[in-house]
A and B are shown apart, each in its own frame.
Chain A
Amino acid sequence: MMSGGTLTSILTIALLIALNLLLLSLLIGLFRAWLGPSVADRFSAILLMGTGGVAMLFILAILLQVSALYDVALVLALLAVVGTVALTQSESNHD
């Protein structure tokens, strides 16, 4: 295990590459959200940002050595769920 929180530069480079690839994968997914013919395809953007965002935050927490980012990941996951529920459940009476 690393001590005290310094990263070797090889590790840093590897993590950074991973981060960029993750962002790329998110972009590819968001493209569908942009195209998506149906409304539900757009919702998948939220799901994608939820899972992908949490992964990115994990890697950022290691890279930047900010452990508060785990809390942010927790909150992000929770709010992505609430957002999805609100999106799919909120419609009015006369529907």
Chain B
Amino acid sequence: MIDTLAILAIFSGLFFFFSGSIGLLRLPDLFSRLHALAKADNVGLALVALGVIMLEPDPLNDIKIAVIWLLVMAASAISSHLVARHALREIRDD
């Protein structure tokens, strides 16, 4: 039962990963691509993390997974900000 839920979570997470990647490929502008990357991938990761938490027997590891997820969220938000800022600089300097 839990296994089925976990698989469901992981596959929905994959759906978001895919939409993120396809967005990365097909969106017209760097900045919109960063949106696809940062947001869609993070939701995907959240769902995958949820699925993995359900499958993981050791509760200490579950806490680790949750912490890693939070870290990746915060870090990827700031990373995309930095990349966008860098790109803006490049455009302005041209």
Do these two chains really belong together in a complex? yes
B83/A84 in contact, CB under 8 A: yes
B56/A62 in contact, CB under 8 A: yes
Partner of B72, one of A1, A44, A50: A50
A1 to B56, CA, bound (A): 8
Cβ contacts under 8 Å, A15 to chain B = 7, 10
Question: Interface size for chain B: under 10, 10 to 19, 20 to 34, or 35 or more residues?
Answer: 35 or more
Interface on chain A toward B: helix, strand, loop, or mixed SS? helix
Question: Interface size for chain A: under 10, 10 to 19, 20 to 34, or 35 or more residues?
Answer: 35 or more
Interface on chain B toward A: helix, strand, loop, or mixed SS? helix
Give the tally of cross-chain contacts (CB within 8 A): 150
Q: How far is the CB of A87 from chain B (nearest CB, A)?
A: 8
A80 to B72, CA, bound (A): 9
Task: Spell out B's residues near A (CB within 8 Å).
Answer: 2-3, 7, 10-11, 13-14, 17-18, 20-22, 24-25, 30, 33-34, 37-38, 41-42, 44-45, 48-49, 52, 55-58, 61, 64-65, 67-68, 71-72, 75-76, 78-80, 82-87, 90
B68/A59 in contact, CB under 8 A: no
Q: How far is the CB of A75 from chain B (nearest CB, A)?
A: 10
Task: Spell out A's residues near B (CB within 8 Å).
Answer: 1-5, 8, 10-11, 14-15, 18, 21-22, 25-26, 28-29, 31-32, 36, 38-41, 43-44, 46-48, 50-52, 54-55, 58-59, 61-62, 67, 70-71, 73-74, 77-78, 80-81, 84-85, 87-89
Across the interface, name the chain B residue whose C-beta is closest to A74. Answer: B68
A41/B33 in contact, CB under 8 A: yes
Complex A-B: 20 CB contacts under 8 Å: A5-B57, A18-B14, A25-B14, A25-B17, A25-B20, A28-B24, A29-B21, A40-B87, A46-B79, A47-B37, A51-B41, A51-B44, A59-B52, A70-B64, A78-B71, A81-B76, A81-B78, A85-B79, A87-B86, A88-B83
